[in-house]
Structure 1
Amino acid sequence: MWGRPLIYGFSVALLGVIWPDSLGTGLGFLNGLLELHDAGTYVWWSLGLVALAKILTSVLTREGGGSAGEFMASLVVGGSLGAAFAIVVETYGGLDSVDIGAFTVVGMAAVLATTARAPLTSVILVFELTGNYGLVLPLMLVAGLATFLSDRLHPESAYSAKLLREGIRLPTSEDIDLLDTVRVETVMQPHGGGLRPWNTLAEAAEYFDVTTHHGAPVFDDQDRLIGILTLSDVSDSGGPSMSATVADAMTRDVITITSDAPVASALARMASLGVGRLPVVATEDSRRVVGMFRRVSVVRAYEEALSMSKGKELYRERTRIRSQPGADFFDMSIVEGSPLANQDVAHIQWPEDLVLVSVQRGTAVLVPHGDTMIRIGDRLTVFGTPEARDEILHTPQVRE
């Protein structure tokens, strides 16, 4: 029980004897580096070893059951590496004077941005800690680049990785916006034809009355999209007329959306332009209309997204049940007087850790849905834990 903490604690103490700057917060060590204008007594490899020792002492402390934060540790590692790099440049690069303190600040921001995946926060915190506001552009450039590269090498920050190991995943913006999960092609309406540039505005108004739409695409003689006409365009052109044509009133610069785009993008485009519809075009041909995205499509998209979200919740619930100790399949029969008889599946209060798999009715095997009615004589196959099995089998008139 005490062996592991003692071994790791002794290892940390040994590293601290060799490299005292690797212990504690390292604030005094960092202040010394920030005041350096030349290498002084430091050599680049000694600072590299301090950075390595700081990493080892932090890891060993946590593995031994102790507490070691990421914030100051990342600053010490970054400051040490930044100062070491400056000394290398000054020694081997032929430069007469290098501001080692400036490189220390940049190194601190880079490693903190990598650890926390928060570039702007890292820059601001380093500003506040050092009081050095003369390195704005280098700090922002290095912090942004460090975050960009670390995201591609390891997607989790030091903080979110801890939660992930505990089975907790923080939601992203994609998780939050349901409309990002539905594509336009899923909810778009067939364009149902459209108007031609030679149609009169009176014919266009009649088309709108018949279809109940407030806008329609305009096609040339080869069915290529050349414009869009709305009721507002007809009204702005003097109303229905047999002398004015669609070509005179239509909008020629058409804003479209591709069929594979998420509904959230289409909705944002409609909102920014103040329009109520978008022609949906093929991905490979921006003039070939495959449908129309209208306001009613947004309602359908929400219904689709909620359905998908509910399906994912059910999947996660079934996965949770399958991982329960002792969970297995078992059968049960519905006999006369059972409280489950003549009830829809959706209205039955099933035990929490139980899933209905199938309903055998005579020689037929039914896949149960919410509106499937359980009848006398049915044989149910369910999957669940032993506790759920006992609970359902103790329901009156249910037999195994």
Structure 2
Amino acid sequence: NPYYFIFPIIGILITLLIKRFLKEKVGEGVPFALFAISRKNGILSPQKMYDSVITAIFTVGFGGSVGLEGPAVGTGAAIGSNLGRAMHINYRNRILLMSCASAGAIASIFNAPIAAIIFTIEIFSLDLTFSSLIPLLLSSISGAVTSILLQGDDHLIYYQLLTGFRIQDLPYYMLLGIFTALASVYFTRTYMFVDQQFNKIKNPRSRVLIGAGILGVLIFLVPPLYGEGYETTNSLLNGNLIEVVDQSLLNEFTDFEYFSLLLILGLIFTKAIATSVTMSAGGVGGVFAPSLFTGASLGFLFSRTINDLNLGQIPESTFALVGMAGLMAGVLHAPLTAVFMIAEITGGYELFLPLMIVSAVSFLISRHFLPYSFYTHELAKKGDLLTHNKDQVVLRLLNLKKIVEKNFSVVKPGMSLRKLIDVVSRSPRNIFPVVNDDGKLVGILTLDDIRSFMFDKALYDALVVAELMSSPPEVVNIEEEMDEVMKKFQDTGAWNLPVVDYNRRYIGFISKSKMFSVYRRKLIEFTA
């Protein structure tokens, strides 16, 4: 069908056309929310309430190989953020409101309220307390109920559990966990590599044409890559491999003994490429659906291979289901979310044990190779990642530029002791930055440095500042993170450190006492 080639190109072009009319950068949604929580006090612009979800609809609707879940979560977070701003609530409650809106979005999409709550805790690094649990529960339930009222029994994933957990299958589940971990690493690193290559293409038009062309060819050759892929996922979950094979241009080779398995293997490798190209070329979407698609394909391939080679007899549909949890745990670094989401959306509660085994193994191995998830690796690289470490979180919320004190008297290296004493007599501080004619910091002076000379008038015109000054124990750059500044205070034992820009031009001083005072106020606001 030639439309498989044309539609993805049209979708990306429409998406980019919409982006040109929007003032801010448009992305998947979740990373923007995480950045806002970490760096912008949980504030997202009003545009974020609609930009990613609108562009994602065109991307996915025309065949882009991504999902709609990430943009929906980002949209929910933006709605919560702007509602919090309108209500003038503090940072902690604003983050809670963002989490509630995101949980409601996930619950409504998958009809999985418990998984939605766990998602916000794992992805947003939300500290779960009794006061936050109730709003999260209410928002998740509201999202799920609203979805049922509007959509009825229509579900994204259809699955009927035929075979529960059998203890003799335990080794196979552990082995599947290893394979899903490796597939998760491949998925994430493929995206990182493809995105890096597309960033080298400086001409935006060339980037779009190349990306859209590659995507069109991939989907034309492998139609199951079209869109989110839930149709293929459902076919594999229900053992209907023939439905997947019939979509391929190579379906005439179905008589070949292992053709079907090779096709599924090809889906696993090409889905990561198609998703990466879609996003890197300018399309907007998430990785929820692609990770479920890849996990189901891998689980089915693994079990069918075991059965065909007579290494055992294991339920293919069950392993396809559990494989979905393994990929989600490895790609998103959210093992608990994976366990509860797959259990809730499929009703496979009898599979909690294998779901936990595969998710845990996948998460541990993938985290060894990739310390950060698909959502967080870029933020972590830039130092913008929020964690569950409360001290670090509060430090990240402090703004060094707002704490710098500038009421210090500046002296020049060639200034005589006589003039220096006159400056000291009029200064409210006992530290004096020594700055040259270019405005660059060359040293500091303290009262202790000149106390022994202050009353010897014979030295007033004999000594100059350059002979009395000393080097500061450490220098702080105005762009440094507050946790780095705190480390410098700890290492030096100093109470005041000079602050400079990248050209070492003097800006002011930061004091440990003021930093602790601001930190304490922010901590109270964060935990209140």
For the pair shown, which has the larger CA radius of gyration, 1 or 2?
A: 1
Higher helix fraction: Structure 1 or Structure 2?
Answer: 2
TM-score, normalised by the number of residues in structure 1:
0.49
TM-score, normalised by the number of residues in structure 2:
0.38
